[in-house]
Structure formats: structure tokens, C-alpha cells
């Protein structure tokens, strides 16, 4: 029994490692498994320490770490709660991923084609790793990640994205979300108070930063992030997607890139470059990463969530030398990134399997994009398709529609799951016509034409 007045929480702490890391992993497991659902209020640090027989400082540090990673939120007056979008809903027997959404067809953005996962290449790489990996792989290693992957990534990113980074300055992490959480933690430690973030942007990323920093919404226009608005915001960090902005799909214009670099030089600000969809370009030559022009002020981040799939939780941070030590220490305290998967990705890169997989995916996604564009032109002549030079989604503008809500309801009435542009907006929503952010990677090939047909028929009723 306990005398704590707050909510009680049953946690079984794993027996390995420190008590703090054990508590972090127990909380992550409870959230991942759905036992702690979004919005659940957790005991105060004092109460949980009493319930588990831990020091209050240990609980406080665990809460702070999970807030930084996006698992929890902490607000004065509301306490510590489980963040939205963190639990993995248990799958129902016999239900496919396509049927798990509310509609019959899934055209939501941000999801790759799971059917195209490179099973054979990944299996070959994993077999090699399990057979040849040194014993040290099965213990705790360098918090920056395996040197084999950091070396392979430095070469690959330099060759394909123009990134200038030494393997020693690369940190391997468990996807972009963890990377952003680590950066938020480090920037806070360095005294940063305000981050400028594109508007529109992915809500989960905004909320993750907002757990530690004030987040200023910086509008995006046809040339990319508006640097004049960034200056006016007082931000010390700019988080942006120069290659292919999500969800508008614009590429940052050359003059705007130069303005952003001038802002960093003048204010000694940091730029976090999210290379969203940087590998998937179709009608234009690849644009080098902005990091190549100012490695000392730009943090470059990427992941395999779109290239291989979200099942492989691997990401990377190419960090300026001044940030290497604090980021390495933050990664040491964070969730460990699986070393066997690191070695498997390094193997795929070294053998050329990763490049071959990307070329295959690029051709397939381009065909899907062309099919979408042709369907819209034929069935919705008043609509406009934007942001199609790269990526896995397109912006479908419907200027003659009565409202964006009516557009979404029409699509869902046709059993099509889509996201409205307004879902990603934080400022003036009237600066864009009613629009949908349509992902064209998710539906399996056999149902993709039917999904487009259902979407067009549903919107045509408006």
C-alpha cells in the first residue's frame, strides 16, 4: 500500500541498467502497448517515487527524458500526461493495415508503400550481420551509433545529398522524432528559448518542440520559409524542410536559401534541416542539402522511415562540432538504437542494395504520382495539383469547393481517408483554398486505381 494521493501506476522495472533507464523503458513499453493511452495523467514525481521506492530525482529525470522524446507532455496545472499519437493500437485479427483506417481506401500522407519493403536485401544483410558481427555488438556501445553505419552514411550522404560531415560528427538515432527530441533537449540546455517552425508543419513535430521551447509559426509561401517572418519572430533556431516542404510540397528557392544562411550568420542561429523526401525527386535534378553550404550552423537530419519503412527505426543527425558533445550525451541518456539494424543498413549501403531499392521505389512512386495527376485532370478539371516534383504526396487544391470541411466529408463519404491542409496550419488558414494533402504511396498497387476513382467520384459530387 502507499500513502500517495495521486493516481497509482503499476510498473515492472526491467532488471538491467540503472534505475532511471529502467523506469524510462517501463514507461515507454506501457505507452507503446496501449496500457497507458493518450491523455492519461501520471503520478507526480514525488508520488511515483514513493510508489516505486525510487528517489524523486530519478523519476523527474525519467519524465524529462520522455517529454523530450515526445512520449509525454508536461504543462503547469495539468501535470504530466501521455502524449497523443504514441500508443500502438493492437491489431485486430484478420484486419489489414488498409482496413485499420476509418475508410476503405487510405490516401493519407506520410506513409510509404509497406508492400515494397526490401525483404530479400534486408534479410541478406541481417543474416550477414548475425553471422559476422563482433561480440561487442550485443552489449552497450558508442552512443553515437556503430562506426560502420556512421562511415557508410557519411559517404552516402556526401555522394547523394552533398552533405559534408565526418563520421565522428554523425549520431545515429531511432528515427527523426527521436532526433528532434534530442535537439530540443540540447537547445534548451544551451539557453535557446524560441524555435521558428514552418507553418504549415507536422503537428506531432510542433508539439514535441513545444514541450521544451516556445515555437513560433513561420509562414511558408511559394519560395519556401519566409525569412523575414523568421527574423521578426525572435527565433534562435529555424526548423525547416528546404528540399520538399511538407505539406505544401514547395522547394526553397535559391534566394530564400541565401537569406536563411544570412540569418544564421547574422544572429548566430541554428538551422535544423529536415531532409523530408529528399531522396524522391522526379522532374528535376536533385538539389543539394543546405547543410553543404554551412556545416558549422546547420544540423542535418534524416531517416529511413520513407525509404525503407517505419519498421526500421533508424535516423541520423549530422551535427556541427559545437553540438557534438551535448548531443552525444543526450543520446546516451535516450532510447538505444538497435545495433544489429545499424549494421544491416550499413551492409545494404556498402553493397549498393540501398541505392537499387531507392531507384526502384522512385520509379514506382513516379508512376503513382502520374496516375493521380491524370485522374484529377480528367475528373476534376477545376482542381489544381501542387507539389508534385518530389515526395510521396501532392496538394490537391479545390478552389470551387464550399469549404475544406465539406471536401473532407465528401472524401470520407466515399470511404477514402485523407488529410485536410488545415490540419497542419497554425496561422491564417484563409490564405489557401480548400485543399487535401493526398498521399499516393500507401494503397497497395491492386487497389490504388480504385482508391483514386473513389476520391474523384466523391469530390465531384461537390
Residue 236 sits in a domain whose CATH number is 3.40.640.10
State residue 94's pLDDT score.
36
How many domains are there within the chain?
A: 3
Domain boundary among 308, 334, 354: 354
Q: Is 339's pLDDT higher than 60? A: yes
Do residues 324 and 272 share a domain?
yes
Query: How far, in whole angstroms, is CA 397 from its chain's centroid?
Result: 24
Do residues 383 and 348 share a domain?
no
Q: Which helix (H) or strand (E) holds 132?
A: helix 119-132
State residue 102's pLDDT score.
55
Max CA pair span of the chain: 68
Do residues 364 and 349 share a domain?
no
Lowest mean pLDDT among 15-24, 126-135, 277-286: 15-24
Q: Which residues pair with 239 in a beta bridge?
A: 197, 272
State the average pLDDT over residues 40-45: 91
Do residues 312 and 429 share a domain?
no
State residue 15's pLDDT score.
61
Q: Which residues pair with 272 in a beta bridge?
A: 239, 299
Do residues 56 and 201 share a domain?
no
State residue 441's pLDDT score.
93
Asked if residue 89 belongs to a domain, the reply is: no
Do residues 291 and 222 share a domain?
yes
pLDDT digits (tens, 9 = 90+) for 233-287: 999 999 999 999 999 999 999 999 999 999 999 999 999 999 978 788 888 777 8
Do residues 277 and 409 share a domain?
no
Share of the chain above pLDDT 70, in %: 94
Domain boundary among 82, 108, 137: 82
Q: Is the model more confident about 287 or about 359? A: 359
Do residues 156 and 296 share a domain?
yes
User: What are the two backbone dihedrals, phi and then psi, of residue 357, each rounded to the nearest 5 degrees?
Assistant: -60, -45
| CATH code (residue 423) | 3.90.1150.10
Q: Which helix (H) or strand (E) holds 81?
A: strand 79-82
8 A C-beta contact, residue 232 and residue 219: no
Do residues 237 and 275 share a domain?
yes
State residue 362's pLDDT score.
93
Q: Is 24's pLDDT higher than 90? A: no
Q: What is the DSSP string of 172-191?
A: EESSHHHHHHHHHHHHHHTT
State residue 84's pLDDT score.
78
Do residues 267 and 370 share a domain?
no
8 A C-beta contact, residue 79 and residue 44: yes
Supply the pTM of this predicted model. 0.77
Do residues 316 and 259 share a domain?
yes
Domain span including residue 68:
19-82
Do residues 106 and 139 share a domain?
no
Which three cell numbers, joined as nine digits, stand for 30? 506501457
Task: Determine the Cα angle at 344 with ends 143 and 391, to 5°.
Answer: 90
Q: Is 18's pLDDT higher than 80? A: no
CB atoms within 10 A of CB 100: 12
| CATH code (residue 65) | 1.10.10.10
Distances in whole angstroms, Cα of residue 351 to Cα of each of 116, 133, 338, 345, 404: 19, 16, 21, 10, 47
pLDDT digits (tens, 9 = 90+) for 207-228: 999 999 999 999 999 999 999 9
Which three cell numbers, joined as nine digits, stand for 377? 485532370
Residue 41's contacts (CB-CB under 8 Å, 6 or more residues apart) are 7, 78, 79, 80, 81
Q: How confident is the model at residue 3 (pLDDT cuts 50, 70, 90)?
A: very low
pLDDT digits (tens, 9 = 90+) for 48-90: 988 888 999 999 988 988 887 778 888 877 789 998 766 544 3
Distance in angstroms (rounded) separating the CA atoms of residues 434 and 300: 33
Distance in angstroms (rounded) separating the CA atoms of residues 420 and 431: 14
- Number of helical (H) and strand (E) elements in the chain, helices listed first: 15, 16
CB atoms within 10 A of CB 162: 15
State the average pLDDT over residues 159-183: 95
Taking each helix axis as running N to C, give the angle between helix 404-413 and helix 448-460, from 0 to 180 degrees, rounded to the nearest 10: 130
State residue 103's pLDDT score.
66
Closest CA to 280 of 246, 312, 241, 307: 307
Asked if residue 42 belongs to a domain, the reply is: yes
Amino acid at each position: 500500500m502507499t500513502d500517495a494521493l495521486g493516481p497509482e501506476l503499476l510498473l515492472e522495472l526491467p532488471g538491467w541498467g540503472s534505475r532511471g533507464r529502467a523506469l524510462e523503458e517501463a514507461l515507454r513499453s506501457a505507452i507503446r502497448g496501449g496500457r497507458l493511452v493518450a491523455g492519461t495523467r501520471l503520478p507526480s514525481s514525488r508520488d511515483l517515487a514513493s510508489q516505486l521506492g525510487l528517489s524523486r530525482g530519478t523519476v523527474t529525470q525519467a519524465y524529462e527524458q520522455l517529454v523530450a522524446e515526445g512520449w509525454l507532455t508536461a504543462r503547469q496545472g495539468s501535470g504530466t500526461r501521455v502524449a497523443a499519437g504514441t500508443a500502438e493500437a493492437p491489431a485486430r485479427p484478420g484486419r489489414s493495415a488498409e482496413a485499420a483506417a476509418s475508410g476503405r481506401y487510405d490516401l493519407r500522407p506520410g506513409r510509404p508503400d509497406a508492400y515494397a519493403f526490401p525483404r530479400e536485401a534486408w534479410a541478406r544483410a541481417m543474416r550477414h550481420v548475425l553471422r559476422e558481427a563482433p561480440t561487442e555488438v550485443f552489449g552497450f556501445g558508442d552512443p553515437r551509433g556503430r562506426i560502420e553505419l556512421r562511415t557508410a552514411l557519411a559517404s552516402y550522404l556526401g555522394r547523394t545529398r552533398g552533405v559534408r560531415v565526418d563520421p565522428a560528427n554523425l549520431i545515429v538515432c531511432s528515427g527523426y522524432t527521436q532526433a528532434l527530441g534530442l535537439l530540443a533537449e540540447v537547445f534548451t540546455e544551451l539557453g535557446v528559448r524560441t524555435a521558428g517552425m514552418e507553418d504549415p508543419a507536422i503537428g506531432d513535430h510542433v508539439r514535441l518542440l513545444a514541450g521544451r521551447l516556445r515555437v513560433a509559426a513561420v509562414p511558408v509561401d511559394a519560395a519556401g520559409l519566409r525569412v523575414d517572418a523568421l527574423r521578426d519572430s525572435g527565433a534562435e533556431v529555424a526548423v525547416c524542410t528546404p528540399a520538399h516542404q511538407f505539406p505544401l510540397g514547395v522547394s526553397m528557392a535559391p534566394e530564400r536559401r541565401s537569406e536563411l544562411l544570412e540569418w544564421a550568420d547574422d544572429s548566430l542561429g541554428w538551422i535544423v534541416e529536415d531532409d523530408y523526401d529528399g531522396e524522391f525527386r522526379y522532374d528535376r535534378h536533385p538539389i543539394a542539402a543546405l547543410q553543404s553550404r554551412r556545416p558549422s550552423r546547420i544540423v542535418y537530419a534524416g531517416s529511413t522511415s520513407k525509404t525503407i519503412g517505419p519498421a526500421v527505426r533508424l535516423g541520423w543527425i549530422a551535427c556541427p562540432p559545437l553540438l557534438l558533445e551535448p548531443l552525444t550525451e543526450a543520446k546516451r541518456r535516450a532510447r538505444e538504437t538497435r545495433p544489429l539494424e545499424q549494421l544491416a543498413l550499413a551492409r545494404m549501403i556498402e553493397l549498393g542494395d540501398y541505392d537499387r531499392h531507392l531507384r526502384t521505389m522512385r520509379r514506382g512512386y513516379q508512376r503513382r504520382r502520374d496516375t493521380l495527376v491524370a485522374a484529377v485532370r480528367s475528373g476534376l478539371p477545376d482542381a489544381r495539383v501542387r507539389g508534385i516534383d518530389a515526395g510521396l504526396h501532392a496538394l490537391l487544391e479545390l478552389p470551387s469547393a464550399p469549404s475544406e470541411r465539406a471536401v473532407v466529408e465528401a472524401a470520407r463519404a466515399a470511404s477514402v481517408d485523407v488529410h485536410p491542409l488545415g490540419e497542419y496550419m497554425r496561422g491564417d488558414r484563409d490564405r489557401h483554398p480548400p485543399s487535401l494533402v493526398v498521399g499516393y504511396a500507401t494503397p497497395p498497387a491492386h487497389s490504388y486505381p480504385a482508391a483514386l476513382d473513389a476520391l474523384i467520384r466523391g469530390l465531384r459530387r461537390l
